[in-house]
Amino acid sequence: MARAAVPGRLIWRVATVDATKDETATARTLVLDVPGWPGHLAGQHVDVKLTAEDGYSVERSYSIASAADGTRLKLTVQRIADGEVSPYLTGDLQPGDQLELRGPIGGWFVWNPSSTAPVLLVAGGSGVVPLMAMIRADKDKVPVRLIYSVRSPADVLYGPELSERARVSPLTLTYLYTRAAPAGMPVGRINADILAAAGWPPDSKPAVFVCGPTGFVEAAANLLVAAGHDPAAVKTERFGPTS
Ligand X SMILES: Cc1cc2nc3c(=O)[nH]c(=O)nc-3n(C[C@H](O)[C@H](O)[C@H](O)COP(=O)(O)OP(=O)(O)OC[C@H]3O[C@@H](n4cnc5c(N)ncnc54)[C@H](O)[C@@H]3O)c2cc1C
Task: Report yes or no: 150 and 122 within 8 Å, Cβ to Cβ.
Answer: no
- Of the candidate spans 13-21, 73-81, 133-141, 190-198, the one that interacts with ligand X by CB under 6 A turns out to be 73-81
* Region binding ligand X by CB under 6 A among candidate stretches 7-15, 28-36, 217-225, 234-242: 234-242
Buried b / exposed e over 149-165, threshold 16 CB at 10 Å, is bbeeeebbbbbeebeeb
In the window 96-135, what residues touch ligand X (CB under 6 A)?
Answer: 126, 129
Which is closer to ligand X, CB of 20 or CB of 76? 76
The reply to whether 4 sits near ligand X by the rule CB under 6 A is no
149 binds ligand X (CB under 6 A): no
Contact between 160 and ligand X by CB under 6 A: the answer reads no
Q: Is the bond preceding 118 in cis, omega lying within 30 degrees of 0? A: no
Q: For residues 15, 235, 123 and 147, what is the CA-based torsion angle, rounded to 10 degrees?
A: 140
Q: CA 151, CA 176: separation in Å to the nearest integer?
A: 8
Alpha-carbon gap, residue 177 to 241, rounded angstroms: 21
Contacts of 51 (CB under 8 A, 6+ apart): 57, 100
Query: Considering only 17-25, 32-40, 70-78, 138-146, which stretch makes contact with ligand X by CB under 6 A?
Result: 70-78
Among 63, 66, 149, 236, binds ligand X (CB under 6 A): 63
Cβ 63 vs Cβ 45: under 8 Å: yes
Closest CA to 11 of 43, 35, 42: 35
Number of residues near ligand X (by CB under 6 A): 21
State which of residues 62, 148, 158, 200 lies at the interface with ligand X (CB under 6 A).
Answer: 62
Beta bridge partners of 237: 211
CB of 65 to ligand X, least distance (A): 7
Binding mask 77-96 for ligand X (x = CB under 6 A): xx-x-xxxxx----------
Closest by CA to 165, choosing from 75, 76, 67, is 67
What is the closest distance, in whole angstroms, from the C-beta atom of residue 234 to ligand X in the complex? 17
Q: Which of 133, 173 has the CB closer to ligand X?
A: 133
Among positions 194-223, residues that touch ligand X (CB under 6 A) are 213
- Positions touching ligand X (CB under 6 A) are 45, 60-63, 76-78, 80, 82-86, 126, 129, 213, 237, 239-241
